[in-house]
Chains A and B, each alone.
Chain A
């Protein structure tokens, strides 16, 4: 009798723990939202929501690509440098018109993606190392193309950065559309299923006859293009190209968003909803700390702690 009750209590606790791991990120967002509503002055205002949403958009877009890379049991450390490269290319080719410049910037991201993917798929280099090499080389390339900060004066870019539809900024709309697109790709397309199969077990995917190399290269191309989009949007918002600092530590924020959102680092599973919530959670955490006059260094420490806690929680889930 006692044993039975005890057993049921343990089972209940296990289920609760699993639920918490599964939906903890949403709970975290709600809690931080409520805390800020009560304790942060001027938190509940349209203006504030707008600012927060515009700030989170580039991080989220990069995190979407990162989620694909992590889902394939990889990682893309080059995303910050790709943002820098795309802002350099954008400034360099703006003379030919904004759309051509944006296109070239996105092609730049795709090229880095092909390089990353080829090193990983054809040569068999670990993703961390391959993308680390491209991270350094990419930032260098961005600085070779555009050695210092340059203001961007272009009406189309300016309206992309600060315009809105019915009060919703373009940046937010684009980020939301991309999130839906990536979620659709992961759930409903062959590419998405192949990606997850490869992330689950690469040898098994190969034995099953999946085009492992092609899919892996495509994954890193997606990640590169998404990072380039984020770079373009960030440039439009700041109305300046700054290859030195744009995208610095972005790989870290993106990985955090993905991992906090419940995508396991071991691959085989991608949670886009969680990634969106993860990006929002980090943004809210940063806001909370800054709005209460805590120094920026605390934000870094807090983010580090959140990463470790999230990965720790994911570890339990991984054991199933």
Chain B
């Protein structure tokens, strides 16, 4: 029963599966959508390493890998949400909340430091999912409210942002964020493991098929017997869990729960997912693309920092413009996929 053969819906994820008789230009546009981000990433990295001696250094790469890791975990959950055709604007607040809860909980041991943020952020994600799937409320407004509410809880927990909880530097929890394995930070390994797991779940399990089916055509999925509501609830819960875990890992890395983190992170995560080839209209996307998207964003930010004269304000202008360009390109490439 668990084989793919009797799965009621097909995922339609690659050009080959979709239409063997696709014309050459259609196949090309599908290829661009699938691997465009990877090509851009390679080109950007070559250009950056030729332009700046400081780019391909161990320290810089390590720093980039670590700061990518936290965003990547958030983007992983976001990918599932976007493939179902939804959106989750609460991840930035949940990331910050997760970090603060982890830092506070770390005084009671590593288990509490990890489980508390997962429980709270997962619960908020579950509420998001229930409101969206069962009460049929618009995803962006529900998660916008959750963004506000989670930030409120965060402020409430930290005495209106005035208390910073520190993590004991010698605790196992802090090591989880700071130690390295084979020269690579532990958070990076955890992120890679999660991405492999996420890719397997999305591409090789029945749940993954349901995620694609719900995003492709909700009514058709329901008629074919896919549990639409349960799938939606699951993806928002998953997104909350990912954001909370990313926040906890980030707190372990910084050895403190920083309250001001995470604002604008929802945009970064959405950008990464979209840059990675996942369609905002749902039904089409890849986990690996989101990882490439995160790396591409971080390389661009790194280059902007290297230029030096450009401050974070320019970084915002460039990120916003970049998202616009990618979405325009994606819309043009994927126009034939749109029903209307």
Number of interface residues of A (CB under 8 A): 43
What is the CA–CA distance of A135 and B141 in the complex, to the nearest angstrom?
Answer: 17
What is the CA–CA distance of A135 and B144 in the complex, to the nearest angstrom?
Answer: 15
Check if A304 sits within 8 Å of B138, measured CB to CB.
no
Check if B148 sits within 8 Å of A130, measured CB to CB.
no
What is the CA–CA distance of A147 and B152 in the complex, to the nearest angstrom?
Answer: 28
| Closest CB in chain B relative to A258 CB, distance in Å | 11
Any A CB within 8 A of the CB of B10: no
Which residues of chain B are near A147, meaning CB under 8 Å?
311, 313
Dominant secondary structure of chain B at its interface with chain A: helix
Check if B137 sits within 8 Å of A134, measured CB to CB.
no
Check if B317 sits within 8 Å of A144, measured CB to CB.
yes
Check if B142 sits within 8 Å of A130, measured CB to CB.
no
Contact (A140, B137) CB under 8 Å given A203-B340, A255-B144, A304-B145: no
Check if B152 sits within 8 Å of A300, measured CB to CB.
yes
Check if A125 sits within 8 Å of B148, measured CB to CB.
no
What is the CA–CA distance of A304 and B338 in the complex, to the nearest angstrom?
Answer: 34
Any A CB within 8 A of the CB of B267: yes
Interface size on B, as a range, is 35 or more
Any B CB within 8 A of the CB of A133: yes
Dominant secondary structure of chain A at its interface with chain B: helix
Which of A134, A304, A305 has most chain B Cβ within 10 Å? A304
Binary CB contact string for chain B from 259 to 284 against chain A (1 if under 8 A, 0 otherwise)? 00000100100100010000011000
Contact (A143, B313) CB under 8 Å given A119-B324, A252-B148, A296-B160: yes
Contact (A137, B321) CB under 8 Å given A300-B155, A304-B149: yes
Which residues of chain A are near B321, meaning CB under 8 Å?
133, 137
Which residues of chain A are near B294, meaning CB under 8 Å?
none
Which residues of chain A are near B151, meaning CB under 8 Å?
297, 300
Q: Which residues of B contact A (CB under 8 A)?
A: 87, 131, 135-138, 140-142, 144-149, 151-156, 160, 264, 267, 270, 274, 280-281, 311-321, 323-324, 327-328, 331-332, 335, 338, 340
Q: Which residues of A contact B (CB under 8 A)?
A: 75, 119, 123-126, 128-130, 132-141, 143-144, 147, 203, 249, 252, 255, 259, 265, 295-301, 303-305, 307-308, 311-312, 315
- List, sorted by A's number, 7 A–B pairs whose CB atoms are closer than 8 Å: A123-B328, A137-B324, A140-B319, A144-B317, A265-B141, A298-B156, A304-B148
